[in-house]
A and B are shown apart, each in its own frame.
Chain A
Amino acid sequence: MTRIRLVLAKLRALIHNGRDDAELAEELAAHIDLLADDLVRGGLKPQEARRQARLRLGGPQQVVLLTRDQRGIPWLEHLARDVRLAVRSLWRSPLFGVTAILSLAVGVAANTVGFAYLYGYLIRPLPFTDGSRLVTVLTTAPSRGMDRWAVTLQELGDIQSRTRSFDAISARSVASVDLTGSDEPRRLMASVVSPDLHRQLGIRPLFGRVFDAGDGRGSAGPVVLLGEKLWRASFGADQRIVGRSVTLNRRPYTVVGVLPANEGFSDYADLWLAVGPEEVAQPRDRRYRLVAHLAPGATIASANRELEVLSAALAKAYPDDNTGVRLFAEDLRADLLDENRAPVLVLYGVVSLVLLLACANVATLLVMRSASRSGEFAIRASLGAGRFQIVRQILVEHAVVTLAGGALGVVVGVWVRDLLVALTPPTTGPFRFTLDLPGTALLCGAVLACAFLFGALSAWTITRQSFGVPRRTGRDASAGLDRARIRTGLAVFEVAAAVLVLVATGLLLKGALTVASQPPGFDAGNVLTMEINLPEGSRYQEPAQAVQFFRDLTARIRVLPQVEGVSAINPPQIFGWSIAYEAGGMRKGPAGQRPRTMDAVVMPGYFQTLRIALLEGRDFAEADTRPASAPVIVVSQAFARATWPGESAIGRRVRLLRRQGGDTPWREVVGVVGDVRVSTFAPERGWVYVPHGQPAFTELVLMIRFTGDHAALVRHVRRLVWEVEPALPLHWNELFADMIARRYWQPRAYSLVFSVFAALALAVALIGVYAVVSYTSARRTREFGIRLAVGSPPSNVWQLVLRQGLRLAVVGTAIGMVAAFGVMRFAAAVLFGVSPTDGWVYATCGALAVAAVLLATATPAWRAARIDPVTVLRCE
């Protein structure tokens, strides 16, 4: 009871401090009056009586101070006073305050953005039931050209029945389906999933229900889950859709529910189908990705031991499908992250350096500023301020700057993050880049820890210099070497960190620019893409019929007035996987070490339509598409160079090794075409082209070069297609250039972001170097004055200052380069083929850093040379 009352009284006192002080002063005055009255009565003169009274009381001011400490919470009041003092002193030198706060804000903002991605990709639990126990199971078979490949339903069944490492395990795959019966036939992407998938992961429908076990047996007829986007676009966002029937692939499906956009797994999917009897009838189809929950007590390692044993058993049970196939489990997050992991880590490394730089900067600026205040500190120390009080004041000043800069930085950072998120397509899978509470706490903790570390360092430096030589303001010019060490250390660190960031960015940019500066090898502008997928089991069962259909269609499109050229390809050259091959006249490596290439099936005229140069030999002719024609192939220049260096490829023989096994014919090379770089950020890859008809596909992507209006052309082509095959769904209908941009936004975004951060890092580091050099030369004013007075030419003085800057620059740059040398090896994956030790980049970045540092020292050097010796010496 007494305690609570005490706390309340103290809190009340904090607020009413001024009023209480006034009352106490009045009370003490009364005390002195009363005491003096008594003393006068005792025979003293009034003046002497008052003097005695004050003496006996012990000085009213001291009593007020003592009582105030008793009344309130002393440390809180001191803190408040220090904060007021800090704000006032920052206000007096706005340049320092603004520079420190802005450079910190830049660092924190950069870090907030980087951290949001790092956290979203690598730390934040996946938004699924028991997200931390989620794994996937993949296959690898070097002899079959399978690396991190898909799983069959046959394997899934065996994993479920013969291992105990997994609690629940679901499969998912992709399929194209045709939606007909409504306004216009459409080609849609379906995610084909185990009926339990959504329940296992805790994904809830917008309304309706998700699949259940009955849907997998197909007992109530086939069912479908619609995606929110499709539901809004094609079904008018009508909730009564549940229970109705839609026509997919010419069969009725009952809608059971609608899944929200961003459900977390299949952002590309328009709708979901359950793995049903049709899929189960094809147990050897290698097309499924698995999602599994580890059983309690199981680890990825223990699961892998079980899978190892299972793989061997399966190889015996199904020699055709499973010889050489190894099943292995992997953290689901790692699998989903895939190629994003390295860039995110590098990005966060870069922004962390920017933050460190900013913190070092604030520390340096603080130390520099305190130099001009060493007189003030010395006076305060001689007036009785303890060392602790001065350190506390410096720390408080630092904290004020940190909090202001940090808060500004977080606000700007969150805003930039939102901007980036808005710019990127919403295909980030289960990763979310908003900072939740733990994320924010982690970020703020890191920033505060970093800031406090540097604050303590600068406070230590400052007190050492203030107390080492008390009251000798500005005269310790020759005794400064020892104390300057930390300051110099900070500056060297800043230069080194900036060089590291510069080199990292330089390497990334060089990779991007080198590839971008080479011609792409084709012209994607004004090329319309249109996917056509002939219905299975209809009139196109025979390969010749499919070939005939596409030949007729392209012939009809070609005569349209706005069409300049037309052909078709599968897969379009922004997709595809590599395939192993053998070539005549090439030494055979062991299985699994076979060379790989990208491959595509094209119709005659493809190279001409895409404006890919024909370097040697000939394009495919109509004769090559006939059923019994001799097997031929066209290869790219890169392929030819890699396979037969220094020799002509024409007339050589190549055999592609199909993933599913089986024999494919030896083909004769009839042409060599130019290389195609679709992603300007990817290294060059070899391609080989096989004519349509050898083999024939029912699915091809039309490539139409046109002039004029895009929408009108789509209408014309659609009419032509439907004249031959009514109600055939058409997919994509977009410009090839747009498709490329959509597919490759990420590397572009990365290199843009990296360049911005590198520029920021350099700017922040330069501020730091400027601060250190101008501070040091300011402290040597007296020395320079003496030098000038005894006849040293001004050029000597500014050379002294420049030499100091040069020393900082060279040492810092050297350290930064060594660090970059060590660190960038780990980032080789994102360098687009540039060597992590590229000499040109290192040299340029080093020169740039040294030049920038010298530039930063130019002003202090100039100032030093203009010192008037008479003024300096008179100041003493």
Chain B
Amino acid sequence: MADKSDVLQGTLDLIVLKTLDVMGPLHGYGLARRIEHVAEQALALNQGTLYPALVRLEQRGWIKSAWGVSDNGRRARFYNVTRAGRRQLHAETESWRKTSSIMARFLEVDHT
């Protein structure tokens, strides 16, 4: 149980950071919609799980938040990546690439 959530946590954190980095400030709902859009139904996101992740990232100082007004005039909380968050994103992306390329190579070998 702990292992599975850890893996998910790590990936969800990376996804949130990357999305905010690309899109700029987003509110929680906008973030969820964006992630679902990119994942194209491949990821069944329970939108509620976003919020613990957002608290986690904010407490680590990788994102910051402020209250603002949404496109259709509703009050919402907007999140944005900090400089530390960008550094973290960079490092995480590197290590993720490395991991996935190693994995890909192994899986190729397995095939032939």
Q: Tell me if A426 counts as interface (CB < 8 A to partner B).
A: no
Tell me the residues in window 1-45 of chain A with beta carbons closer than 8 Å to chain B beta carbons. 2, 5-6, 9-10, 13, 23-24, 26-28, 30-31, 33-35, 37-38
> Which stretch from A59-67, A532-540, A615-623, A639-647 is at the chain B interface?
A59-67
Q: What's the minimum C-beta distance from B64 to chain A, rounded to whole angstroms?
A: 12
Residue B46 at the A interface, CB < 8 A?
yes
Contacts of B100 in A (CB 8 A): none
Question: What residues of A have a CB within 8 angstroms of the CB of B48 in the complex?
Answer: 57-60, 62-63, 66
Answer whether residue B97 sits at the interface, using C-beta atoms and an 8 A cutoff.
Answer: no
Q: A5-B59, A31-B47 are in contact. Are A37 and B52 (CB under 8 A)?
A: no
- Residues on the B chain within 8 Å of A715, using CB: none
Residue of B nearest to A71 (CB): B55
Flag B50-78 by CB within 8 Å of A: 1 or 0 each: 01100110111100000000101011110
Judge whether A56 is part of the interface by a CB distance below 8 angstroms: yes
Does A548 count as interface, using CB distance less than 8 angstroms?
A: no
- Chain B nearest CB from A29 CB (Å) reads 9
Question: Restricting to B12-46, which residues have a CB under 8 Å from any CB of A?
Answer: 27-30, 32-33, 46
| A70, CB-defined interface residue at 8 Å | yes
B interface SS class: helix
**Does the CB pair B49–A27 fall under 8 Å?**
no
The answer to whether A28 touches B59 (Cβ under 8 A) is no
A56 touches B47 (CB 8 A): yes
- List residues of chain A with CB within 8 A of the CB of B74: 30, 33-34, 37
Query: Taking the nearest CB of chain B, how far is it from the CB of A243, in angstroms?
Result: 73
Establish whether residues B27 and A28, one from each chain, have CB atoms under 8 Å apart when the complex forms.
Answer: no
Among A31, A56, A70, which residue has its beta carbon within 8 angstroms of that of B55?
A: A70
**What is the bound-complex CA distance between A33 and B49, given in angstroms?**
18
Min CB distance, B83 to chain A, in Å?
Answer: 13
Please indicate the chain A residues that have their CB under 8 angstroms from the CB of B59 in the complex.
Answer: 5-6, 9-10, 13, 71
Q: Interface range on chain B: under 10, 10 to 19, 20 to 34, or 35 or more?
A: 20 to 34
Partner of A27, one of B28, B58, B84: B28
Residue of A nearest to B58 (CB): A9
CB distance from A57 to the nearest CB of B (A): 5
| Chain A residues with CB below 8 A from B76, complex form | 27, 30-31, 34
Residue in A closest to B53 when the chains form the complex, CB atoms: A70
Q: Are A30 and B55 in contact (CB under 8 A)?
A: no
Judging by beta carbons under 8 Å apart, are A66 and B28 in contact?
no
A36 to chain B, nearest CB (A): 10
4 smallest beta-carbon distances between A and B, as pairs: A58-B48, A63-B48, A9-B59, A70-B52
B residues touching A (Cβ–Cβ < 8 Å)? 27-30, 32-33, 46-49, 51-52, 55-56, 58-61, 70, 72, 74-77, 84
29 CB contacts below 8 A, A to B, read: A2-B61, A5-B61, A6-B59, A6-B60, A23-B77, A27-B51, A27-B76, A27-B77, A30-B28, A30-B29, A30-B74, A30-B75, A30-B76, A31-B27, A34-B29, A34-B70, A34-B72, A35-B47, A56-B47, A58-B46, A58-B48, A59-B48, A60-B48, A63-B48, A63-B52, A66-B48, A67-B52, A70-B56, A71-B55
